[in-house]
Structure 1
Amino acid sequence: MSKILEDWEQKAQDKQKANKQFLQKLQTRRGKGVEKLLPELHDEAFSKIDCLECGNCCKSISPRFKGPDVKRIAKYLGMKEGNFVDTYLRLDNDGDYVVKFSPCPFLGADNYCGIYDVRPGDCENYPYTDSYDFFKRPNITFANSTICPAVYYVLERLKDKMGI
């Protein structure tokens, strides 16, 4: 295991203020080439991290279920869309459909997703460590750094690469 990942949960908690400030500074550095580092760091992180050993995202946060997600997943489960929504989803404060409860009802005891082939777009793109969304929404990335070891890893490696 990488030294960065040793006791990452505690380190992420301890570095919350510094990481939030770092992300806010990165957001203002758009176009300075920082985002070009992400694909390499994303691949590096996932060469060291197995999501199936963690599952924190599915255990603690919910993706947004957009209209096409609802339609696709309901069909996959052999349910009517309205029944799928009534059974599994609720509207959050932003008016987005999210799961009613955590952990996600589709997460198995082995951390495998029961709807992986048709999972919501948010799940497919999470944790956004290989795209500009990593910088675009610093508050979400900051929160994700305490949930996902890959986000924490990429943040730490970015700081290393930038000499911070």
Structure 2
Amino acid sequence: MSVSLTDWEKKAKEAQKANKQFLQKMQTRKGKGAEKHLPELHDEAFAQIDCLQCAGCCKTISPRFKTPDIKRISKHLGLRESVFIETYLRLDEDGDYVVKRSPCPFLGPDNYCGIYDVRPGDCHNYPYTDSYDFFKRPNTTLLNSTICPAVYYVLERLKSIIK
């Protein structure tokens, strides 16, 4: 089955209920063997999707900035950690450091990341389409399906494979 990425945002919103049910089913069945398909589907999705054409993640959500991320990025920017935090970050409702506002302050007008080589771990791993985290956090995956075309693509392909 081929997945059309034309109007994927609209289709992702329309598929929210079905996707939520599918992800809940996958979580209760510990992936039901679906995780073995993720690396292949991840590669398939990114063979068609250029993140630089989208940057939806950087424009709408924030990664968590963990202590090693803060240390690494502060050093890269030549800032004291406290100055980096004060300038760019805030604590969210879960007690995690996130960017103060969207889009990410490190996103350039060309959709390139200004700190790509030292980006936070969450950015490096996003959109989690190649790991069991895809099923482990169904609410996050559901949200990501409306932000990232790769997540939408992988979900649609999985639903056609796993009955």
CA distance in 2, matches of 1:61, 1:41: 23
CA distance in 2, matches of 1:31, 1:69: 30
Q: Which residue of 1 aligns with 2:100?
A: 100
Q: Which residue of 2 aligns with 1:25?
A: 25
Structure 1 ranges of 4+ moved more than 4 A: none
Does residue 105 of structure 2 align to residue 118 of structure 1? Answer: no
Higher mean C-alpha displacement, 24-33 vs 40-49: 24-33
CA distance in 2, matches of 1:103, 1:66: 19
Superposition RMSD in Å: 1.0
Aligned-pair identity (%): 77
Q: Which residue of 2 aligns with 1:10?
A: 10
Q: Which residue of 2 aligns with 1:144?
A: 144
CA distance in 2, matches of 1:31, 1:150: 18
Provide TM-score, normalisation by structure 1: 0.96
Does residue 65 of structure 2 align to residue 65 of structure 1? Answer: yes
Q: Which residue of 1 aligns with 2:84?
A: 84
CA distance in 2, matches of 1:81, 1:54: 30
Higher mean C-alpha displacement, 12-21 vs 23-32: 23-32
8 A contact 2:19–2:155 mirrored in 1? yes
In structure 2, what residue type is equivalent to 1:29?
R
CA distance in 1, matches of 2:116, 2:65: 14
Q: Secondary structure at the match of 1:159?
A: helix
8 A contact 1:4–1:156 mirrored in 2? no
Q: Which residue of 2 aligns with 1:109?
A: 109
CA distance in 1, matches of 2:87, 2:30: 42
Does residue 61 of structure 2 align to residue 48 of structure 1? Answer: no
Count residues with an aligned counterpart: 162
CA distance in 1, matches of 2:32, 2:109: 43
In structure 2, what residue type is equivalent to 1:74?
S
8 A contact 1:58–1:103 mirrored in 2? yes
- Structure 1: give runs of 5+ residues left out of the alignment: none
CA distance in 2, matches of 1:158, 1:3: 11
Q: Secondary structure at the match of 1:4?
A: coil
8 A contact 1:64–1:98 mirrored in 2? yes
CA positional deviation for 1:30 = 1.5
Provide TM-score, normalisation by structure 2: 0.97
State the Cα deviation string for residues 2-21 of structure 1 (Å, max 9, x = none): 64211100000111111111
State the Cα deviation string for residues 51-99 of structure 1 (Å, max 9, x = none): 0000000000000000000000000000000000000000000000000
Higher mean C-alpha displacement, 103-112 vs 32-41: 32-41
CA distance in 2, matches of 1:130, 1:5: 19
Higher mean C-alpha displacement, 119-128 vs 19-28: 19-28
